[in-house]
Structure 1
Amino acid sequence: MEAGGTLRRSGPVASFVDTNVVVYCHDHGSEEKRRVAVALLSDPPDRLVISTQVLSEFYWTVTRKLRPPLPDSAAAEATRHLAALPLVTIDGEIILSAIDTAQHHQLALWDAMIVEAAVRSGCDRLLTEDLTDGQEIRGILIANPFAA
């Protein structure tokens, strides 16, 4: 990791992956999105980055909101698997930057934290369905992998 907490990248450009994409890997009620998400997460692990926020949201979502929910043990194992990816830790600096980004771009704080984690990671693309496909925020291209 470089000074300021930026992940050092070498080789092909990496994508930051939002919670909704990894949740769809386990959502059997949305088969097409599940297929797309599984294919995306089959990329080489060094081309994908997540954050501690994604890890915690993933576990909560798949055990509480997903129908049927994953058993706690399966969700914990899936979370451990995700934690092996390059990981950005959400810290005070990211939160404060996210507050500014949320105000400037009229985003929910949680979405702005994901954007700021993507900035910190050195990625140039954020895979999410929560923001506008094709939009650029803070130098990060928003890409909805489920857009038709």
Structure 2
Amino acid sequence: CLPGTQKHVLQHINTWINNVPSADPIFWLSGVAGSGKSTIASTLVQEEGNRSWLGAVYFCRRDVTMPEHVVPAIAYRLAHSFPPLRARIINVLRDCPDITGSPISTQFSSLLAKPLSALHDWDFGKSLVIVIDALDEC
């Protein structure tokens, strides 16, 4: 975002991030095409103070991104950043090496939901946020 723009939206999102345990677990930023959603997502990702909670980022691009690649890419980024999660994701891949060819709902459950929920006792330090931009373009 240009300096001084979208302050209220960025502040609202940062407030949500800092209160995720007591807030809704999903923050859905929506708006008409060209309203600045991608710019807001990019700004959040680039702000230095936000790196402690950033788990993974995925920016979809029309005619480039294949929907079945989104979940494995996010799982890869999370596994790369969080060693306790890495072991759980590797186990899934070892048990089901063809998981990337499975339906997206199966990928999500096996590669993200189950491994993340199994880490309830592991503290990420702050909220763990996954930013997905332009999901409708996948």
Compute the TM-score of the two structures, normalised by the length of structure 1.
0.29
CA radius of gyration, larger in: 2
Which structure has greater helix proportion? 2
Which structure has more relative contact order (CA 8 Å, sep 6+)? It is 2
Which structure has greater strand proportion? 1
Compute the TM-score of the two structures, normalised by the length of structure 2.
0.30
